[in-house]
Amino acid sequence: MSESLAAQPIARIHRDGVEYVLLGTAHVSRASVEAVREILQHESFDAVAVELCEPRYKSMRDPESFRNLDLFQIIRQGKAGLVAANLALSAFQRRLAEQFGIEPGAEMKAAMDCAEARDLPVWLIDREVGITLKRAMRSVGFLDRLGIIGGLAGSLITREDVEESEIEKLKEGDMLGSMFNEFAKESPPLFEALIAERDRYMTARLREESADAQQAGKPVRKVLAVIGAGHLAGIRTAIESQTDDPAPMQEALSALPPGSPWPKRIGFAIFAIIAVAIAVLFYRGTDTGTEALWTWVLCTGIGSALGTLVAGGHPLSALAGFVVAPLKPFRPGVPVGAASAGVEVWIHRPRVADFDSLRDDVIHWTGWWKNRISRILLVFVLTNLGMMFGTWVAGFRIIKALI
């Protein structure tokens, strides 16, 4: 083993007749790319596993995959926020890569390229990032959820350069974990969703792929797993200790836990209190009731419209938010942002150039307003935030009038 490869975090574990060689990497690191190439050049493997899921693999192999985005469908299904979060994660990694002139996930791409050149199977072992983020959001309280959102937003706003020595320190963690580092340290549920669960999931995938190869008559004896070094210790321990059937484990770790009923209950309670307050004010007098009703309409409508305009939305998109926002209590399952974003898609339909430049535009926070696709996502998110702000303002003013 060369001196440069010896400096990399590597673990070797034997189980069920298979040697798993775990190579810990930083996802934006020249040294990690060189380590991947070197270990594949000097050792023989029967398969190569990478810390990727199917969507990220397709995105890496097909840079034009974003052209297949169906924005109407994304908005209709309420997934605009999740797509925006995925773009923010990608932007964080690409910004670091841009600084050091290296392709994001270059060590994963190097592993796949080397495996394909040697006609070795490539195993995709990571859990989908969307599931990870959803499980993380549902596993923590309100303040930690704000921390996750703040971590995503902060990764876009900060423009400080990162020393290359700091990039190598990412080998002590994970790309997702590094974005929410402080929150993950202080919140065991967040660490569990971002890191520990994925350790168990990737271990189950390794075991399942090995068993499938055995059943197919193509047994593997030695597997290289290229993973973020923050997962190395956890996966090593899991390989040594896991006893459950890997398939049910993956299913359980991919299932979305039921969301807490309290946000919906609190939201319903707020709307109910405001509705009762308006009814009482109407009972006291038509003028006071009418004034309270107008307060509700104007505060929620203006809040939503301002959110749309701050996102760079068209005035008609803002008008859609203004009209739909006061009706929110009668359509609780449909976010106000869906109406504004839908109109925005209709007026400013994304061009081919927007799909081509999306990944580069979102690296800088100002690019989110420049690109039509990311701007539509912003319209969805900020219109909903504007609605929330307007609801609190309206509720405060109406309750104040009541007492």
**The predicted structure's pLDDT at residue 48:** 97
% of the chain with per-residue pLDDT over 70: 75
Read off the tokens for 238.
């899991």
% of the chain with per-residue pLDDT over 90: 41
Q: Which pLDDT tens digit goes with each residue over 222-251?
A: 999 999 888 898 999 999 999 999 999 999
Residue reference for tokens 């985005």: 69
Rounded to whole angstroms, the Cα distance separating 84 from 65 reads: 16
Kindly provide the b/e burial profile for residues 35-58, where b requires at least 16 CB atoms within 10 angstroms of the residue's own CB: bbbbbbeeeebbbbbbbbbeebbe
156 pLDDT more than 60: no
Q: In what order do the strands lie in the sheet with 222-228?
A: 10-15, 18-25, 222-228, 47-50, 122-124
Read off the tokens for 164.
């290359």
**The predicted structure's pLDDT at residue 57:** 87
Average pLDDT of the residues in 147-162: 59
* SS3 (DSSP) at 1: coil
**The predicted structure's pLDDT at residue 67:** 58
Average pLDDT of the residues in 26-46: 87
173 pLDDT more than 80: no
Q: Cite the beta strand spans of 276-369 per DSSP E.
A: none
User: With the C-alpha atoms ordered 272, 277, 283, 287, is the resulting torsion angle positive or negative?
Assistant: negative
State the amino acid at position 161 in one-letter form. D
Read off the tokens for 93.
């990694």
Half-sphere exposure of 320 (CA within 13 A, CB side): 23
Phi and psi at residue 123, to the nearest 5°: -100, 130
Rounded to whole angstroms, the Cα distance separating 213 from 1 reads: 28
Average pLDDT of the residues in 83-98: 68
Bridge partners (DSSP) listed for residue 24:
227
Average pLDDT of the residues in 297-316: 96
Average pLDDT of the residues in 74-86: 69
Q: Which pLDDT tens digit goes with each residue over 256-299?
A: 777 667 667 777 888 888 889 999 999 889 999 999 999 999 99
Half-sphere exposure of 365 (CA within 13 A, CB side): 9
Task: Report which listed range, 4-13, 43-52, 164-173, 365-374, is most confident.
Answer: 43-52
Taking alpha carbons only, the member of 234, 222, 235 closest to residue 48 is 222
**The predicted structure's pLDDT at residue 72:** 67
**The predicted structure's pLDDT at residue 31:** 83
* SS3 (DSSP) at 6: helix
* SS3 (DSSP) at 21: strand
Rounded to whole angstroms, the Cα distance separating 372 from 187 reads: 36
Alpha helix ranges (H) inside 62-123:
71-76, 80-100, 106-117
Q: SS3 sequence, 248-308?
A: HHHHHHHCCCCCCCHHHHHHHHHHHHHHHHHHHHHHHCHHHHHHHHHHHHHHHHHHHHHHH
Length of the chain: 403
**The predicted structure's pLDDT at residue 4:** 60
Grade residue 177 by pLDDT with cuts at 50, 70 and 90.
Answer: low
134 pLDDT more than 70: yes
Grade residue 364 by pLDDT with cuts at 50, 70 and 90.
Answer: confident
Rounded to whole angstroms, the Cα distance separating 104 from 93 reads: 6
More confident position, 35 or 77 = 35
**The predicted structure's pLDDT at residue 129:** 82
372 pLDDT more than 60: yes
Phi and psi at residue 348, to the nearest 5°: -110, 65
Grade residue 163 by pLDDT with cuts at 50, 70 and 90.
Answer: low
The mean pLDDT value of the chain amounts to 82
**The predicted structure's pLDDT at residue 211:** 93
- The CB density around residue 286, as the number of other CB atoms within 10 Å, is 10
Grade residue 74 by pLDDT with cuts at 50, 70 and 90.
Answer: confident
Angle at 187 between CA 185 and CA 193, to 5 degrees: 95
CA distances from 45 to 40, 49, 75, 134 (A): 8, 11, 44, 35
**The predicted structure's pLDDT at residue 309:** 96
CB 376 within 8 A of CB 350: yes
**The predicted structure's pLDDT at residue 62:** 72
**DSSP element (H, E) containing 318:** helix 315-324
CA distances from 41 to 21, 34, 38, 51, 278 (A): 14, 10, 5, 20, 74
Bridge partners (DSSP) listed for residue 234:
none
Average pLDDT of the residues in 330-359: 80
Rounded to whole angstroms, the Cα distance separating 246 from 199 reads: 13
More confident position, 170 or 255 = 255
165 pLDDT more than 60: no
CA distances from 3 to 35, 38, 176, 227 (A): 10, 11, 29, 20
Grade residue 155 by pLDDT with cuts at 50, 70 and 90.
Answer: low
* SS3 (DSSP) at 27: coil
45 pLDDT more than 60: yes
For the chain, the domains span 3-254, 262-402
**The predicted structure's pLDDT at residue 306:** 97
Q: 136 exposed, middle or buried (CB, 10 Å; 0-12, 13-18, 19+)?
A: buried
Rounded to whole angstroms, the Cα distance separating 395 from 271 reads: 8
Average pLDDT of the residues in 127-146: 77
